[in-house]
Amino acid sequence: MKITSAEFVMSNSDVAKCPKGNIPEYAFIGRSNVGKSSLINMLTSRKSLAKTSGRPGKTQLINHFIINKYWHLVDLPGYGYARVSKSSKKTFQKFITDYFQQRKQLISAFVLIDIRHEPQPIDLEFMQWMGEKQIPFAIIFTKADKLKPKAIERHVEDYKNILLETWEETPNYFVTSSTKNLGKDELLNYIGQINADINSSK
């Protein structure tokens, strides 16, 4: 799939106020600073469609973008960011869980994982929660430019092994780098194929 247009639609903190209608939707989630907004810019070939920052906690709202005038891409705030105020500090902020539980248009989530680190409990817990709620997701490993190919392979294997302790099979996964444009075609083709399947089953 080629992206021919990508436009910002709206930001809000209330899932009830997200765009109405039946536009297929894909959402990017993961820990603060994992590279969600950067990945969206990489996928859409737009430098600053989604706002990025070296400091965690940049994205604070649910941000909708319309792609090719046909599907929605959603940039979400990260979870597990400790430096937010006490009152809003929950492991997974409420409006993130509300979003996933209520958003009927959501076709698939992408859970982003920083490839450099060992599997982290918070990410595993989040995927567990998604599984329990039966929310479809794929994994996107980010920042692959920071590791050598052998280390990438090893970290992916470690992840697969830990997931297989609780899951019958591993979810689909992608290895990406926003700085190196790695994984872009694979991800866009994956989304394009799902959109095509939705269309042909109409």
With beta carbons less than 8 A apart as the criterion, state whether 173 and 139 touch.
yes
Specify burial of residue 182 (Cβ count, 10 A radius: 0-12, 13-18, 19+): buried
Beta pairing, strands 71-75 & 25-30: parallel
Q: Which residue is nearest to Mg ion (CB)?
A: 59
State which residue, 36 or 72, has the beta carbon closest to ligand GTP: 36
Q: Please report how close the Cβ of residue 150 comes to ligand GTP at its closest, in angstroms.
A: 18
Least distance to Mg ion, CB of residue 62, Å: 11
The nearest distance, CB 93 to ligand GTP, in angstroms, is 11
Helix (H, G, I), strand (E, B) or coil at 53: coil
Note whether 9 and 18 are within 8 A (CB): no
Residues 42-81 close enough to bind Mg ion by CB under 5 A? 58-59
**Which CB, 58 or 103, lies closer to ligand GTP?**
58
Q: Which residues, at least 6 apart from 33, have a Cβ–Cβ distance to it below 8 Å?
A: 54, 55, 56, 78, 81
DSSP string, 127-146: HHHHHHTT--EEEEEE-GGG
User: Which CB sits closer to ligand GTP, 115 or 195?
Assistant: 115
Residue 37 engages Mg ion in binding (rule: CB under 5 A): yes
Q: Say which entry of ligand GTP, Mg ion, none residue 179 contacts (CB below 5 to 8 A, set by partner kind).
A: ligand GTP
Smallest separation, CB 167 to ligand GTP (Å): 24
Residues that bind ligand GTP (CB under 6 A): 32-38, 52-54, 56-59, 77-78, 142-143, 145-146, 177-179
